[in-house]
Amino acid sequence: MITVAIPKGGLLADSIRVFKSVGLDFSAFLDSSNRQLQIYDPTETAKALLVRGQDVPVYVEYGQADLGIVGYDTLREKKPKVAHLIDLKFGQCRLSVAVKASSSYRRSVELPPHGRVASKYVHCAREYFQNLNLPVEIVPLYGSVELGPITGMSEAIVDLVETGKTLRENGLVEIDILFESTAYLIGNPLSYRLNAGGVNELIGKIREQILTAA
């Protein structure tokens, strides 16, 4: 039996749609009254785990799930030992540097040396500024990162941006983009190599659906 890890939140509905397109129905997760974290497809050929997006690659890497769906931003930040199988073309967003709209900074390289940058994407932010040869202090924040510049705790933030509405409503503006992100199908390397439970056939069906929709 194939086990898949499905992310809670914004990627949930599209993730379920992808699996439904290849004959696996996990739509019970969309029922707000359902509290189950593990469900079986009606055909009983596969089961799904409902987990936080950041935890999807953990379940896949450690073999509790053969496949999973997760944002590319999480893969870049966590660098899990998983197979990157298919760009699923949904969940489009970007990881960006943002500052107060009233500030004079309009490029990342203009930020002051040894200034502070708040982010929950600590590794991505650190790597980005190291590549710019700009020494900054990365301040880990996991709640409302926008408060960093607003309160004066940091000169900038590195955060995920979809429409930019939250930034605008809080008086912030994007000045640089680190990378674009979409949802990816990932796989446990051993399951993929051994074709456990016919997982490669399922991957092929999903790839065909994505190519057809493109």
Contacts 24+ apart (CB under 8 A), 166-169: 167/98
SS3 138: strand
The b/e string for 84-99 (b: 16+ C-beta within 10 A; e otherwise) is ebbebebbebbbbbbb
What is the spatial distance between Cα 176 and Cα 109, in angstroms, rounded to a whole number? 10
Same domain for 188 and 87, yes or no, is yes
Query: What is the pLDDT, as a whole number, of residue 213?
Result: 79
pLDDT reading at 214 higher than 80:
no
Q: What total number of domains does the chain contain? A: 2
pLDDT reading at 43 higher than 90:
no
What is the spatial distance between Cα 56 and Cα 69, in angstroms, rounded to a whole number? 7
Same domain for 11 and 67, yes or no, is yes
71 — pLDDT class (breaks 50, 70, 90):
very high
Same domain for 175 and 187, yes or no, is no
Q: Are 98 and 121 contacting, i.e. CB atoms less than 8 angstroms apart?
A: no
pLDDT reading at 190 higher than 80:
yes
Query: What is the pLDDT, as a whole number, of residue 21?
Result: 95
pLDDT reading at 170 higher than 80:
yes
Same domain for 78 and 44, yes or no, is yes
Return the structure tokens found at 35.
Answer: 């509290």
Query: What is the pLDDT, as a whole number, of residue 44?
Result: 87
Mean pLDDT of the 23-41 span: 94
The order of strands in the sheet holding 172-181 is: 137-140, 116-119, 156-161, 93-100, 172-181
What is the spatial distance between Cα 38 and Cα 40, in angstroms, rounded to a whole number? 7
Mean pLDDT of the 207-211 span: 93
Q: Are 94 and 179 contacting, i.e. CB atoms less than 8 angstroms apart?
A: yes
Same domain for 147 and 44, yes or no, is no
Q: Which residue, among 130, 164, 160, has the nearest Cα to 145 in the 3D structure?
A: 160
Instruction: Write the CATH number for 118.
Output: 3.40.190.10
* Range(s) of the domain holding residue 12: 2-91+182-213
Same domain for 16 and 86, yes or no, is yes
Same domain for 73 and 101, yes or no, is no
Same domain for 9 and 71, yes or no, is yes
